[in-house]
Amino acid sequence: MKFFGQVTAAAIFAISLQAANITVYPGSSWTEQSTAGCPCNSSINGNMPRNGTGSLEIVGPRSRFALGDVTSFTTNLGLLSNLTAFSYDFLTSNLGSAPPNSYPIARLHLYDPINMYGSELVWENAETGNVAFSTGTWQSYNVFASGSIYRFVNFYIGPPPSGFGIRRTFNGPGPADAQTVQSIAAWSANTTSPLFNEFANGGLNQFGFSAQTYVVGVSLGIGGGATNYLGYADNVTLAFGNNSDTFNFEAIPEPSTYALMALGLGLMAARIRKRR
């Protein structure tokens, strides 16, 4: 698993413990990957700092800021069955026209190379309502430990199994539903007791995932019904096995900060020369 953020000095020690704290500045590993026709103006900035100087600002509607290529599914962060942690901090500043209880939505983007289709596992508080809503307050949420994850199937490559379609439900199971609300561990479980028959022709497990399904990327954003929504996210933790990465979004330092850093380094160098 490779990430391309800038690693802080504190992360050098953390790496030896198989955990990395990665500082993500604008223009690094996380990028805007929203759907066509959206404003696409979410960004990493200093408008609402969580830790340090910044955070990820999410502007609706249809905003999606992602690690990995979640539009053409060309990246592989690790097997879904090997995922051991997924959490983040979030805040809603302005609901706009978003549904009540809306926080920035967290998605795991998946690809099943055996059955050749992509899916999203989604935590969306506006649908599940399992986190108390408070405007202007930072909160933390353990998505991996949650039992409130639904699946959104967004495309299929090749002849689809009988009944395959773009469906989701928040109260299933039911006879017309392709999915239900589960934990991530339950979604990835490769068991033999079928929940629905929709994917039977594809040889899938009861949740429609083969054992080779992997995480293409992770994204934070807001949906199409959230005009004028404004929210923030930070400190995204993603782990596969014992390898854990926490992404801290930070604004680019001001030129004056760079000047102070350069001055400090110059004084240190001068002091070292003087001691010789």
User: In the chain, where are the structural domains located?
Assistant: 6-275
Most confident among 17-21, 130-134, 171-175 (mean pLDDT): 130-134
Quick one: pLDDT at residue 154?
Answer: 67
Residues 6+ apart with CB under 8 A from 132: none
Percent of the chain whose predicted confidence (pLDDT) is above 70: 65
CA angle (7, 3, 230) in 5-degree steps:
85
Between CA 194 and CA 162 the distance in angstroms is 15
Model pLDDT for residues 138-164, shown as the tens digit of each residue: 999 999 999 898 888 766 666 655 555
CATH fold, domain 6-275, is: Jelly Rolls (2.60.120)
Average pLDDT estimate for 174-185: 62
DSSP 224: T
DSSP H helices, 2-69, are: 11-16
Say yes or no to pLDDT of 192 above 60: no
Q: How many CB atoms lie within 10 A of CB 52?
A: 14
Percent of the chain whose predicted confidence (pLDDT) is above 90: 45
DSSP-derived 3-state class of residue 47:
coil
Quick one: pLDDT at residue 12?
Answer: 36
Between CA 17 and CA 235 the distance in angstroms is 18
Say yes or no to pLDDT of 137 above 60: yes
Q: What is the 3-state secondary structure (H, E, C) of 35-62?
A: CCCCCCCCEEECCCCCECCEEEEEECCC
> What is the per-residue DSSP string for 183-204?
-HHHHH---SS-S-STTGGGT-
Say yes or no to pLDDT of 260 above 70: no
